[in-house]
């Protein structure tokens, strides 16, 4: 069984908090390019692999592509002023209800 703990660090001028089954990215709306999102998630994964001491994260259950789709969907919601106080930051978590990945896929088809 994986350990429960949390890590807080900066990646590309973003404050990242990783806790059991959650990755929080403050001011995630500032990253607009999918390639940069993938790069940042890769750096987060490397950091967690190096310093996470066995913490269970969404990386253990989700693909980076699914996380990028969720990120794009959050950015789209932020851009149309939908719950800005929530959508300005991103929580990538696991588990998710069965329909959530489908909603994020749909909402990420177009980048606003």
The residue extents of the domains of the chain are: 6-107
pLDDT tens per residue across span 79-101? 999 999 999 999 999 999 999 98
Q: Write out the DSSP string of the chain.
A: --B--EEEEEETTEEEEEETTEEEETTGGG---HHHHHHHHHHHHHHHHHHSTTB--GGGTS-HHHHHHHHHHHHHHHHTTSSHHHHTSEEEESS--TTHHHHHHHHTSS--
pLDDT tens per residue across span 10-34? 999 999 999 999 999 999 999 999 9
């Amino acid at each position: 069984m994986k350990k429960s703990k949390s890590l807080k660090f900066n990646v590309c001028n973003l404050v990242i908090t990783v806790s059991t089954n959650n990755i929080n990215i403050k001011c995630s709306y500032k990253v607009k390019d999918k390639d940069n999102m993938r790069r940042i998630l890769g750096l987060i994964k490397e950091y967690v692999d190096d310093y996470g001491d066995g913490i269970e994260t969404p990386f253990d259950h989700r693909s980076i592509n699914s996380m990028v789709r969720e990120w794009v969907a959050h950015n789209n919601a932020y851009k149309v002023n939908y719950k800005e106080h929530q959508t300005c930051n991103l929580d990538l978590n696991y588990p998710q209800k069965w329909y959530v990945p489908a909603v994020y896929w749909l909402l990420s088809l177009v980048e606003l």
